[in-house]
């Protein structure tokens, strides 16, 4: 869907992007991550021609982006930036309607679309009449996402979109965005320097340094192989713990129960009836949370409860660690 071929962009003597190669599949949420100044924002901005590369090629759907006038190209690519950039002199509804209007959509269709988009990002359609200055940071960025999606672009470029909101809001926005993405299957290029955010959102992570893509792989493929390299150093040793946030307690328990079928010394003890003395964890909690609970209570097993609070098994530390490798 998006393909960078040997893209180079220099600013004076500095090579911001230095021969980047990367391919992003349709429907993939690719997180571009790297330290400040690694060229990730510059690379992202070559897709909608906000930055023109010195050499190399950026292809969208197999065609070079230079085949389209920049304005027309940009109207078909959603764009969300850290500063949000809502237009303060326009109501929330008019902000969301900007691109549909630029595309000349019909009035009735636009106002319907504005309502749908606001609902999609969890705001009531009546919010269309509000003004940007009345919104909190998190609300403003929701409107920013609604605005980017309003013309239903197949591609979404997001440049540290949740970078300027508080940590709790950020996690909520990430979760909501993931839910929207599961529903819409946009091709997303998402720039961040926050490893946790990359782990939570990415289908694949592209790690960048000094203008080059060092590695592009699924989040779970990073763990073992990169311990000594820059990639491993940048992701940090805690990556092994952070990655557990992608798996739920239920998955680990199911896995543990599945290997109980096989003859194994561990099978006898795992996934059995709940241990009443163990601290309780909900099945939909992440393994990272489960591990955190174990660490803070200094225990090695937790009793797992389902949504109704019924005990459905026991989770052991080794299940948490084992699931990781064994689950596809």
Partner 1 sequence: MSVDWITLAGAAGGFLSAALLPFLSLRPNRILEGVPRGLLESLGPGAGIVLGALSAAGILAVLHGRRPGLDTPGALLSGAGLAALLPLAGAAAGRLVGGSPVARVSAGPGFWLAAAGLGVALFSFTRRLPSRSPARIASLLAVPAAAAAAALAGLLDDLSLVRELAARGSTFAAELARHLALAGGSASLGAAVGVPLGLAMYRRPRWRGAISVAVSAAQVVPTLSLLGLLIVPMAALGAAVPVLGRLGVRGVGWAPAFTVLSLYALLPIAGNTFAALGAVDPGILDAARGMGMSRRQVFLRVQAPLALPVILAGIRTAFTANMGNAILAALVGGGGLGTLVFLGLAQAAPDLILLGALSTAALALAADRVLALAIRGAVPRGIRTEDS
Applying CB under 8 A, the residues found at the interface with partner 1 are 48, 50, 70-76, 79, 81-91, 98-99, 102, 131-133, 147-148, 157
Closer CB to partner 1, residue 132 or residue 219?
Answer: 132
Closer CB to partner 1, residue 44 or residue 195?
Answer: 44
Distance CA 306, CA 144 (A): 36
Smallest separation, CB 161 to partner 1 (Å): 12
Catalogue the long-range contacts made by 324-328 (C-beta closer than 8 Å, 24 or more residues apart): 324/220, 324/223, 324/243, 324/244, 324/247, 324/287, 326/255, 326/259, 327/247, 327/251, 327/255
Closer CB to partner 1, residue 91 or residue 245?
Answer: 91
Smallest separation, CB 96 to partner 1 (Å): 11
Closer CB to partner 1, residue 86 or residue 304?
Answer: 86
Distance CA 50, CA 44 (A): 9
User: Do 287 and 240 meet the contact criterion of CB atoms below 8 Å apart?
Assistant: no
Smallest separation, CB 27 to partner 1 (Å): 22
Distance CA 80, CA 147 (A): 8
Smallest separation, CB 59 to partner 1 (Å): 19
Smallest separation, CB 146 to partner 1 (Å): 13
Buried b / exposed e along 95-107 (16+ C-beta atoms within 10 A): bbbbbbeeeebee
Rounded to 5°, the CA angle 102-106-112 comes to: 100
Phi then psi dihedrals of residue 3, to 5 deg: -140, 125
Closer CB to partner 1, residue 89 or residue 182?
Answer: 89
Closer CB to partner 1, residue 71 or residue 261?
Answer: 71
User: Do 222 and 298 meet the contact criterion of CB atoms below 8 Å apart?
Assistant: no
Smallest separation, CB 165 to partner 1 (Å): 15
Distance CA 256, CA 170 (A): 32
Closer CB to partner 1, residue 69 or residue 218?
Answer: 69
Smallest separation, CB 67 to partner 1 (Å): 16
DSSP 3-state of 268:
coil
């Amino acid at each position: 869907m998006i393909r960078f071929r040997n893209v180079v962009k220099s600013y004076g003597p500095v090579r911001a992007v230095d021969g980047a190669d990367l391919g992003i599949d349709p429907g993939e949420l690719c997180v571009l991550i790297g330290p400040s100044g690694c060229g990730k924002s510059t690379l992202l901005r070559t897709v909608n021609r906000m930055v023109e590369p010195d050499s190399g090629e950026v292809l969208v759907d197999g065609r070079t982006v230079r085949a389209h006038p920049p304005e027309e190209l940009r109207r078909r690519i959603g764009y969300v930036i850290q500063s949000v950039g809502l237009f303060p002199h326009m109501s929330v509804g008019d902000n969301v309607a900007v691109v549909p209007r630029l595309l000349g959509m019909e009035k009735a269709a636009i106002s319907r679309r504005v309502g749908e988009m606001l609902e999609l990002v969890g705001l009531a359609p009546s919010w269309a009449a509000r003004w940007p200055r009345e919104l909190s940071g998190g609300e403003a960025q929701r409107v920013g996402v609604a605005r980017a999606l309003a013309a239903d672009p197949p591609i979404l470029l997001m440049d540290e979109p949740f970078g300027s909101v508080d940590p709790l809001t950020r996690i909520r926005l990430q979760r909501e965005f993931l839910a929207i993405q599961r529903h819409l299957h946009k091709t997303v290029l998402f720039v961040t320097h926050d490893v946790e955010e990359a782990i939570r959102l990415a289908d694949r992570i592209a790690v960048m340094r000094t203008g080059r893509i060092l590695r592009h792989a699924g989040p779970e493929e990073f763990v073992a192989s990169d311990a000594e390299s820059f990639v491993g150093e940048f992701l940090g040793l805690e990556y092994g713990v952070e990655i557990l946030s992608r798996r739920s307690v239920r998955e680990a328990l199911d896995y543990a129960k599945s290997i109980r079928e096989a003859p194994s010394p561990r099978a006898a003890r795992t996934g059995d009836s709940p241990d009443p003395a163990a601290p309780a964890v909900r099945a939909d909690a992440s393994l990272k949370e489960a591990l955190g609970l174990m660490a803070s209570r200094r225990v090695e097993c937790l009793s797992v409860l389902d949504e109704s609070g019924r005990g459905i098994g026991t989770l052991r530390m080794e299940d948490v660690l084992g699931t990781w490798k064994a689950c596809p």
